[in-house]
Amino acid sequence: MKKILYLLPLVILASCSSTEKKFIKVENIQTVHEYKNNPIIYSLPKTVVSVEVTAVNEISVKGPYSMYAHKYLGTDDVITENSSVWYISNTEISSYPVKDSSRTFVVESNYPCSYNFSPEGFLESVNAKSDYNSNNTYYQEKQNLNIKEDNINKNQFNTLNINRYETVFDTVLHVVDADSIFTAVPTANKQIIRKSIDEQAQELANQIFILRDDRNALLVGEADNKNQPSGDALKYMIEQLNKLEESYMSMFIGKKIKIEKKYEFSFTPENTKHIQTTLFKFSPEYGVQPKTSLRGNPINIDITNLLNNSVEQIFEENQANIIRKNKIKPSFNGIAYLTPANGLIRIIQNNSAISEKIININQMGIIRYLPSTLMEDTNFKAIFYPEYGTLKSLN
């Protein structure tokens, strides 16, 4: 009898345990004061906008024989002074996700659920396996985009086959004392004299005309003489002659050098209808500058929330008004996820858009919750797009 009385409380406890009510409660971590039941904590993703800017420094270098270009070549298309100017050649807009601390949730539940997370730490699935593969390169090692520069010598031209000196022979009479008789003996005298700039320019111009004659001879010879090179051989020879002529001509008309640099800027927008702010400064003289610099004019990033005043937002606002008006006590929420929001990103220079793109901006999306009753089904499965926090499939 004593044994029966001793076992009775254990039976009652077991019975209570087996009939324990299942529940799930999801709350923002900022409103939770204490944790129970070994909670799961996860964050929805927040979008960071990344802008890669390609800036080009175009340098014009005056040729050493520029003043003789018209005299010997008959051309006035000449760079007359050295100059340098910067311009933006391209901008690329992309994005990557980070954890949103303001949308971090605590999940308390006694349902026998399994949770899967992406490598970035975002919720990937509940009670299911997904085939999701992160292609997010921002979590991989990135190269420094601010050091790419062509290895170009901006101050020198190619060394050309110009003889800047000439050898002059003349005859000099030397007086010789031979047996007390003074005799004038002619002697050859060798002198090396540096050519003038005009003479050097004339010699180089002559070489250009010779190159052109050689090229024309090759082209004409292809039609008249079977022994002349043809096909790829002829094409290669013509290309080499063209390159050599271009190098010689640069001594007269000058040359333009382009140096390309890339910069990356990141901006994390807030959940607002519209925002515009300075991303960096740009100057034709100094190129890309920090936004705090006094040099240059601002290059702005402009973001418009396209979800604003949309059907989804109006629906959510109406539902919230109904709950407030009827004083409906909300039930416990299930898993929190996002309704995607598109944002129009524009890069503004001098009040004009030089680049624009529509991308998903997670923090501008609407937070929704799966009904907690769904998890009562033992076959419940949910799969998410972890980088966007949106629902992919639900069983």
Report the pLDDT value the prediction gives residue 355, as an integer from 0 to 100.
95
- Mean pLDDT to the nearest integer, 371-388: 88
Report the pLDDT value the prediction gives residue 108, as an integer from 0 to 100.
86
**216 pLDDT higher than 70:** yes
Classify residue 223 by burial, with Cβ atoms within 10 Å: 0-12, 13-18, 19+. Answer: exposed
- Mean pLDDT to the nearest integer, 316-339: 71
Q: Where are the domains of the chain?
A: 39-155+259-391
Report the pLDDT value the prediction gives residue 259, as an integer from 0 to 100.
93
Higher pLDDT, 169 or 217: 217
Crossing angle of the two packed helices 231-253 and 197-224, in degrees rounded to 10: 160
**88 pLDDT higher than 90:** yes
**332 pLDDT higher than 70:** no
Confidence of residue 382 (pLDDT cuts 50, 70, 90): very high
Strands (E), the chain: 24-28, 40-61, 83-109, 115-117, 123-126, 165-178, 181-194, 255-267, 274-283, 287-289, 297-305, 333-339, 342-349, 352-360, 366-371, 382-385, 390-394
- DSSP state, residue 129: -
Report the pLDDT value the prediction gives residue 53, as an integer from 0 to 100.
95
211 vs 224: CA distance, rounded Å:
20
**184 pLDDT higher than 70:** no
Report the pLDDT value the prediction gives residue 185, as an integer from 0 to 100.
47
- Mean pLDDT to the nearest integer, 373-384: 87
Instruction: Say how far residue 384 (Cα) sits from the centre of its chain.
Output: 28
10 vs 369: CA distance, rounded Å:
39
Block residue for tokens 């890669």? 52
**383 pLDDT higher than 70:** yes
**40 pLDDT higher than 90:** no
Confidence of residue 323 (pLDDT cuts 50, 70, 90): low
Taking alpha carbons only, the member of 248, 286, 280 closest to residue 264 is 280
- Mean pLDDT to the nearest integer, 219-241: 72
Report the pLDDT value the prediction gives residue 162, as an integer from 0 to 100.
56
Block residue for tokens 């006094």? 294
Taking alpha carbons only, the member of 175, 210, 215, 133 closest to residue 387 is 133
6 vs 352: CA distance, rounded Å:
85
Q: Taking the complete model, does pTM exceed 0.85, yes or no? A: no
Contact yes or no for 100/122 (Cβ under 8 A): no
What is the rounded average pLDDT for all residues in the chain? 79
Report the pLDDT value the prediction gives residue 7, as an integer from 0 to 100.
40
**289 pLDDT higher than 90:** yes
Residue 386: what residue type?
P
Higher pLDDT, 56 or 173: 56
252 vs 240: CA distance, rounded Å:
19
Q: 3-class SS at 141?
A: coil
Phi, psi angles (nearest 5°) of residue 17: -65, -40
Q: Where is mean pLDDT largest: 88-92, 106-110, 307-311?
A: 88-92
- Mean pLDDT to the nearest integer, 17-28: 70
Q: Which of 210-219, 220-229, 239-248 has the lowest mean pLDDT?
A: 220-229
163 vs 202: CA distance, rounded Å:
11
**38 pLDDT higher than 50:** yes
- Mean pLDDT to the nearest integer, 139-159: 45
Report the pLDDT value the prediction gives residue 176, as an integer from 0 to 100.
47
Phi, psi angles (nearest 5°) of residue 238: -65, -40
- Angle CA(249)–CA(251)–CA(254) in degrees, nearest 5? 90
